[in-house]
Chains A and B, each alone.
Chain A
Amino acid sequence: MRTLQRTGGADQALLRDAVTIAAAMVAVGASFGAIAIAYGLPVWVPFLMSTVVFAGGSQFLAVGLLAAGNPLAAVFAGLLLNARHLPFGLAVGDALGPRLSERMIASHVLTDEVAAFTLAEPDPVRRRRVYLIIGATLFTSWNIGTALGVLLGGATGNPDALGLDAAFPAALLALIMPSLRDRTTRKVALTGAAIAVLLTPVLPAGLPVICALAGLLTLVRPHSRRKERTC
């Protein structure tokens, strides 16, 4: 039995959410490590990628292209996929701390999930704490997962069998749900998501999500909406 202070309760809830997403990160990180080794890449490759790149989607994309002997394509496709981190940095940049050194270190752990957790925190004072706790948790769990995958290889199993491919989009949905309760934001976000889904079959990976920014055009008043939707 335990008794909780009010702020302790908020931190406890945050830690519980962090552990949930971290468990999923370990499993997907393990599949990344296992896949990199299965492709026949050197053992240091997944470790270097998970520490230096630390962006799951681009890591999966890049190991495939690296294994196919196409390093230039791996870099460009990976960078295109990660371009969304720039607008994420703009949106959550005030949560990383006042000092340049702090911001330079904290920037490295900025991911989709970290941005989503940070934006879901309404209190600007707590945002920094949320950013750092989630960022550190995810960086650690992703790298532990990668190491497990390298060590255990195919024995880690297929994360899809555990339904983890459904867990990550659902987690993002849960995190943006508070902002989706605002009607204007909902219109922008759902329009953007629809644009991204429709463009996914025809554009290279990464671009459709960037094109979701066109959802902001719904903010333009209807009678003056003459602008072409380009991306």
Chain B
Amino acid sequence: MLIAAIIALGVGTYAMRLGGVLLRGRLKLSDTVQRVLAMAAAALLAALAGTAALMAGTDFAGVARPAGVLVGGILAWRKAPFVVVVLAAAATAALLRLAGVP
């Protein structure tokens, strides 16, 4: 049962990945639709970032994590290199926790 569940989850996930990719190949998309698709992906990624930054399960994530993401976000807005953004976000959250901030 364990192996069947994992295979089912893997196959289902792969089907959704491949489904989107193949659908894209089949459709002749206008420039407008392509632009909307890119915006849809940006909305999904922003939602992932937002929920991962602010929420832990169904609860608020505390202070350290959102603060770290905020520092990273400001640096990204100011066009800091990717490495700097990621390290600054992690360091901020880690140091706040070290100082006892939840």
Task: Spell out A's residues near B (CB within 8 Å).
Answer: 16-17, 20-21, 24, 41-42, 45, 48-49, 52-55, 58, 62, 66, 71-72, 74-75, 78-79, 82-94, 96, 103-104, 106-108, 110, 112, 115-116, 119, 160-177, 179-180, 184-185, 188-197, 200-202, 208-213, 215-216, 219
Q: Are B86 and A20 in contact (CB under 8 A)?
A: yes
Q: Are A196 and B16 in contact (CB under 8 A)?
A: no
Mark contacts of B24-58 with chain A using CB atoms, 8 A cut-off: 1 yes-contact digit, 0 otherwise: 11000000000011111111111111111111001
Contacts of A91 in B (CB 8 A): 20, 24, 37-38, 40-41
The answer, yes or no, to whether B5 is at the interface (CB within 8 Å) is yes
A120 to B57: give the CA distance in the assembly, Å. Answer: 28
Mark contacts of B56-77 with chain A using CB atoms, 8 A cut-off: 1 yes-contact digit, 0 otherwise: 0011010011111101110111
Chain A residue nearest to B24 in the complex (CB) = A93
Mark contacts of B62-102 with chain A using CB atoms, 8 A cut-off: 1 yes-contact digit, 0 otherwise: 00111111011101110100110111111111110100000
Task: Spell out B's residues near A (CB within 8 Å).
Answer: 1-10, 12-14, 16-25, 36-55, 58-59, 61, 64-69, 71-73, 75-77, 79, 82-83, 85-95, 97
Given contacts A20-B83, A71-B5, contact A172 B97 (CB under 8 A): no
Q: Are B36 and A89 in contact (CB under 8 A)?
A: no
Q: Report 27 cross-chain contacts, Cβ distance below 8 Å, ordered by A residue.
A: A20-B87, A24-B90, A42-B2, A49-B10, A58-B9, A62-B5, A86-B17, A89-B19, A91-B41, A93-B24, A104-B18, A107-B18, A163-B68, A170-B53, A170-B72, A170-B76, A172-B45, A179-B42, A184-B39, A188-B43, A193-B46, A197-B47, A197-B55, A201-B55, A212-B47, A213-B44, A216-B40
A211 to B51: give the CA distance in the assembly, Å. Answer: 12
DSSP class of A's interface residues: helix, strand, loop or mixed? Answer: helix
Say how far A127's CB is from chain B's closest CB, in angstroms.
12
Given contacts A164-B90, A173-B76, A190-B46, contact A79 B21 (CB under 8 A): no
Q: Are A85 and B86 in contact (CB under 8 A)?
A: no
Given contacts A196-B47, A200-B55, contact A167 B9 (CB under 8 A): no
Q: Are B58 and A201 in contact (CB under 8 A)?
A: yes
Which residue in B22, B43, B73 is a CB contact (below 8 Å) of A103?
B22
A4 to B17: give the CA distance in the assembly, Å. Answer: 36
Which residue in B16, B65, B85 is a CB contact (below 8 Å) of A83?
B16
Given contacts A71-B4, A112-B45, A192-B46, contact A166 B93 (CB under 8 A): yes
Contacts A87-B20, A91-B40 known; 16 new A-B pairs at CB < 8 A: A16-B83, A66-B5, A79-B12, A82-B12, A85-B13, A94-B25, A106-B21, A107-B18, A163-B64, A163-B90, A167-B89, A169-B48, A169-B65, A189-B39, A192-B43, A211-B47
Q: Are B5 and A166 in contact (CB under 8 A)?
A: no
A193 to B42: give the CA distance in the assembly, Å. Answer: 10
Given contacts A163-B91, A170-B85, contact A175 B45 (CB under 8 A): yes
